[in-house]
């Protein structure tokens, strides 16, 4: 990765604003918002029984972007010392100096303000719970320091999305979004366990906690499978509780196939294709669940 300045005639030249924004988005992996954002709208669509108002959709989008930016920004800041020592993460912008820590904190503060403004413009319950939700998202970044259950905390942070979307529309909580949130929680936790297998040795050496570092990679794969089985069961239960039709369950069948495929692409003895399994397949699962749920709602239950 290039240094914070490019060189011209031996003199450093600052990056343009567009380049700087690109680096910020890369730092927080903004493109991975696809894992959580569709589920916020799933919750909102289920609550509304169709498409919520354009204003509600806008504020949900802004709240999700703000919350995730805070979560990822804090994660990168508090993990800076570990990222600089880990060969897999040594090229991250904060480590290389492309982004200064002060700049990262300014981004986090701006994102937090955006999140609270968006929550305020949704429902009273959404605004009341907004500090609690943000606290959960931030707290995750510290969990690897004391518990191997950190994967479940990450799952909880992202799994809140369907319930948050439901609250943004109905100003209440119901069994359907809770089941959907439970599914997202264990789905995220399951693939985070797989992703953490790449850092099992490093985490063990540095005294960080994760399931792969605690029980080894082969057992971690088994535990990930259990988490994904729980997730699939919760998604199925949510579909039945919401009275969704065959389109949703067809999407669930596709999801099950992709979860199995994930374990064909990466194995305890070959993690080389983790990015394909982690990013592409999970993005596909997220989109499939969103589309199948939406189509089931819009085309009749």
Tell me the C-alpha distance between 219 and 12, whole Å: 50
Q: Would you state the CATH architecture of domain 18-298? A: Orthogonal Bundle (1.10)
Q: Where do the structural domains in the chain lie, given as residue ranges? A: 18-298
* pLDDT value of position 8: 45
Rounded to the nearest angstrom, the gap between the alpha carbon of residue 191 and the centroid of all alpha carbons in its chain is 11
Which tens digit of pLDDT belongs to each residue from 274-296? 877 777 888 889 899 999 999 99
Each residue's pLDDT tens digit, 142-190: 999 999 999 999 999 999 999 999 999 999 999 999 999 999 999 999 9
pLDDT at 185: 96
Angle at 291 between CA 257 and CA 244, to 5 degrees: 85
pLDDT tens track for 62-116:
999 899 889 888 988 898 888 888 888 888 788 888 888 898 899 899 999 999 9
pLDDT tens readout for residues 186-211: 999 999 999 999 999 988 888 899 99
More confident of the two residues 297 and 30 = 297
Q: What is the DSSP string of 206-251?
A: HT---HHHHH-HHHHHHHHHHHHHHHHHHHHHHHHHHT--HHHHHH
CA 17, 23, 26, 28 dihedral sign is: negative
> Mean of the pLDDT values across residues 209-222?
95
> How much is the pLDDT for 47?
97
Task: Determine the Cα–Cα distance for residues 18 and 208; give it in Å rounded to an integer.
Answer: 36
What's the mean per-residue pLDDT of the chain?
Answer: 88
pLDDT at 2: 39
Q: What CA–CA distance (Å, rounded) separates 26 from 95? A: 13
Higher confidence at residue 251 or residue 286? 251
188 near 218, Cβ under 8 Å? Answer: no
Residue 205: partners with Cβ closer than 8 Å, 6 or more residues away? none
The Cα–Cα gap between 194 and 212 comes to 8
Range name among 113-122, 191-200, 241-250, 267-276 with the lowest pLDDT average? 267-276
Which pairs count as long-range contacts for 213-217, CB under 8 Å and 24+ apart, including other chains? 213/148, 214/148, 215/148, 217/268
Look at residue 11 and tell me whether its pLDDT is greater than 70.
no
Helix-then-strand count for the chain, H and E: 15, 2
Looking at residues 10-18, what average pLDDT do you find?
53
Reported pTM:
0.87
Angle at 254 between CA 250 and CA 257, to 5 degrees: 140
Confidence of residue 16 (pLDDT cuts 50, 70, 90): low
Residue pair 258/284 in contact (Cβ under 8 Å)? The answer is: yes
Q: What percent of the chain has pLDDT over 90?
A: 62
Apex CA 270: angle with CA 269 and CA 271, to 5°? Answer: 120
In degrees and rounded to multiples of 5, residue 164 shows phi and psi of -65, -40
Residue 157 confidence (pLDDT):
92
């Amino acid at each position: 990765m290039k240094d914070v300045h490019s060189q011209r005639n031996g003199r450093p030249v600052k990056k343009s604003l567009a380049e700087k924004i690109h680096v910020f988005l890369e730092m927080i992996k903004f493109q991975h918002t696809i894992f959580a954002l569709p589920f916020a709208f799933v919750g909102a669509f289920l609550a509304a029984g169709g498409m919520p108002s354009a204003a509600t959709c806008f504020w949900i989008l802004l709240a999700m972007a703000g919350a995730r930016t805070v979560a990822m920004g804090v994660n990168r800041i508090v993990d800076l010392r570990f990222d600089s020592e880990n060969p897999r993460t040594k090229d991250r912008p904060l480590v290389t100096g492309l982004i200064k820590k002060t700049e990262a904190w300014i981004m986090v503060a701006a994102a937090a303000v955006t999140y609270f403004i968006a929550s305020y413009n949704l429902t009273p319950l959404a605004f009341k719970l907004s500090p609690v939700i943000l606290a959960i998202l931030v707290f995750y970044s510290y969990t690897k320091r004391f518990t191997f259950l950190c994967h479940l905390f990450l799952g909880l942070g992202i799994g809140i999305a369907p319930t948050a979307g439901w609250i943004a529309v109905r100003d209440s909580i119901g069994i359907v979004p809770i089941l959907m949130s439970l599914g997202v929680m264990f789905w995220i936790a399951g693939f985070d366990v797989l992703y953490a297998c790449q850092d099992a040795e490093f985490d063990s050496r540095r005294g960080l906690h994760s399931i792969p570092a605690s029980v080894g990679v082969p057992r971690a794969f088994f535990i990930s499978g259990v988490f994904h089985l729980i997730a699939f069961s919760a998604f199925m239960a949510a579909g039945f509780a919401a009275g969704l039709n065959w389109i949703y369950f067809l999407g669930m069948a596709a999801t099950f196939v992709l979860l199995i495929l994930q374990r064909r692409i990466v194995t305890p003895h070959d993690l080389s294709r983790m990015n394909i399994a982690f990013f592409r397949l999970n993005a596909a699962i997220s989109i499939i669940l969103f589309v199948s749920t939406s189509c089931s709602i819009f085309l009749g239950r």
